[in-house]
Amino acid sequence: MTNRVSYAPQDLQKMCKQAERDQESKKLAVLMERVRQQIAERDHPGEKHARQDAGRKVRLPSRSVPFER
């Protein structure tokens, strides 16, 4: 038999809400990057713009640690 960590219902609800906020933060970061790219293309048409962070992904610090294990 394996030992499982059981969280209190309110703790689980808090973790779920935090995970939703983390997901929304990631979506916002991606959206902001797209807007920056579109502005750069609009300001300098015809030029190819290499993504500044093409080699690295934007990683936000996660506050929902139990979900990353």
In a domain, 21, yes or no: yes
How far is it, in rounded angstroms, from Cα 36 to Cα 30? 10
Question: Does pTM top 0.85 for this prediction?
Answer: no
Element (H, E) at 6: none
Say what the pLDDT of residue 60 is.
55
pLDDT tier for residue 69 given thresholds of 50, 70 and 90: very low
Q: Do 9 and 49 contact (CB within 8 A), yes or no?
A: no
Number of domains in the chain: 1
Q: By residue range, what is the domain housing residue 12? A: 8-40
Q: Do 66 and 15 contact (CB within 8 A), yes or no?
A: yes
Q: What is the pLDDT of residues 12-62, one digit of tens each?
A: 888 899 999 999 999 999 999 999 999 998 888 877 655 554 555 555 555
In a domain, 35, yes or no: yes
In a domain, 47, yes or no: no
Say what the pLDDT of residue 23 is.
93
pLDDT at 5 over 80: no
